[in-house]
Structure 1
Amino acid sequence: MDTLVKIFGQAGELNTIQMSCRGVVLFFIALVLIRISGRRSFGIRGPLDNIITILLGAILSRAVVGATPFVPVVVTGLVIVLLHRWISWLITSNDSIAKIVQGQKILLYQDGEFIERNMKRALLNHEDVMHAIRRSVLTEDMSRISKIYIERSGEITAVKKDD
């Protein structure tokens, strides 16, 4: 036990090497937790996925700096990851839950017109949308665009017209 205290220190009395050792251990614990959480937690970037990123970072950092005892931090991280995985499973099983948790895509542009009501609902202005179009479709020519959406993830996507 004394050896572990020398390596990892005790709360409030950590030196640089002890914090670094905690960081290394928590890196691997975080890797396991992220693998348990699943690929969607860092791929889709919806509200649910952003929550796990923020919470895991905030929770695990407390163990690195010794602000909270190590084991409760790891257990709390595991609980958050399992909750994320369970809600993700619910989303894939039930469209109503998916709409509540993730929202719906919003149509921003169709038939050559911006839908101002939806733009306000999405808290976007024309330049925000045009920026995304220039980046993703590589054009400013709106005559080539059929529809524009803001997806559940917050990403703005465009559907080209058929030639």
Structure 2
Amino acid sequence: MSDLWSLSDPWWHFVIRGIVMYALVTVLMRASGKRAMGQFTPFDMILLILIGNAVQNGINGGDNSLTGAVIMAVTLFVQNWLVAWGSSRWRKFRWVFEGKPTLLAEHGKIDYRMLRRQLVSEDDFLDAMRAAGCDKVSRVKYARLEPNGHITIETTDEKS
């Protein structure tokens, strides 16, 4: 029973492992693109499950104690809270962790190169236009891919 609470490493190893793995997964998720973060597909969910399994030993170092699990959970929650706190106070901090909006279209012209670069299909772009009540590309004043993966469409007032 005492093995449930006995750590295999010093407590601070778990804190360092948690910080490093949180940073690594954050970088990998940012590198995967905004669209992947905003629109989960079944493949994205599978990827997240597999990533969780893949980084498990990197976080716990093979330790299966309850104490290690508590230290890791607290470390990850605190780190996540700190990122949210910093993001809510400083724009540059938010840009580092969440990214900046990306311009996909401007003044009725779609930037197809940027759509491809951001992994947004033309159909997804047209769906976002329709959801914004925009019936023609020529009415698009600005279209931005937000850091959360949503496409924001700003239209001109003209209907023609």
TM-score of the superposition, structure 2-length normalised?
A: 0.53
- Secondary structure in 2 aligned to 1:123? coil
Matches of residues 139-154 of structure 1 in structure 2 within 5 Å?
A: 139-154=134-149
> 1:70 deviation in Å?
2.8
- Secondary structure in 2 aligned to 1:104? coil
Matches of residues 9-158 of structure 1 in structure 2 within 5 Å?
A: 58=52, 68-134=64-130, 136-158=131-153
Q: Which runs of 5+ in 2 are unaligned?
A: 5-35, 41-47, 54-62
AA at the equivalent of 1:148: A
AA at the equivalent of 1:153: N
CA offset digits 1:1-45 (Å, max 9, x no partner) = 8xxxxxxxx8xxxxxxxxxxxxxxxxxxxxxxxxxxxxxxxxxxx
- Secondary structure in 1 aligned to 2:103? strand
- Secondary structure in 2 aligned to 1:118? helix
Aligned-residue identity in percent: 19
> 1:148 deviation in Å?
1.1
AA at the equivalent of 2:118: A
Report the number of matched residues.
109
Going from structure 1 to structure 2, the CA distance change for 1:141 and 1:81 (only over 3 Å counts) comes to same
Q: Which runs of 5+ in 1 are unaligned?
A: 2-9, 11-45, 60-66
Aligned to 2:11: none
Tell me how far apart the structure 1 counterparts of residues 92 and 103 of structure 2 sit (CA, whole Å). Answer: 19
CA RMSD of aligned residues (A): 3.6
- Secondary structure in 2 aligned to 1:147? strand
CA contact (8 A) 2:115 2:121 kept: yes
